[in-house]
Amino acid sequence: MDDRQFRNAMGKFATGVTVIVTEVEGEPHGMTANAFMSVSLSPKLVVVSIGENAKILNKIKESQKFTVNILASDQQTVSMIFAGQLKEHDGVAFDRLGGQPVVPGAIVQVSCEVSAEHVEGDHTFFIGKVTDLQLNEDSEPLIFYCGRYRFLSEETPIA
**Where on the chain is the footprint of ligand FAD (CB under 6 A)?**
17, 28-35, 49-51, 54-56, 79, 81-84, 91-92, 144
Cβ closer to ligand FAD: 111 or 158?
111
Query: Quick one: the chain helix, strand, coil %, rounded to 5?
Result: 15, 50, 40
| Residue 34 beta carbon to ligand FAD: minimum distance, rounded to whole angstroms | 4
| Residue 122 beta carbon to ligand FAD: minimum distance, rounded to whole angstroms | 9
| Residue 159 beta carbon to ligand FAD: minimum distance, rounded to whole angstroms | 34
Which strands, in side-by-side order, build the sheet including 123-135?
Answer: 27-33, 18-24, 65-70, 108-120, 123-135, 45-51, 36-40
Cβ closer to ligand FAD: 152 or 159?
152
How many CA within 13 A on the CB side of residue 100?
26
| Residue 125 beta carbon to ligand FAD: minimum distance, rounded to whole angstroms | 10
Backbone angles phi, psi at 137, to 5 degrees: -70, -20
Cβ closer to ligand FAD: 82 or 130?
82
* 3-state DSSP assignment of residue 57: helix
Cβ closer to ligand FAD: 60 or 130?
60
Pick the closest to residue 37 from 27, 49, 47, 28 (CA basis): 47
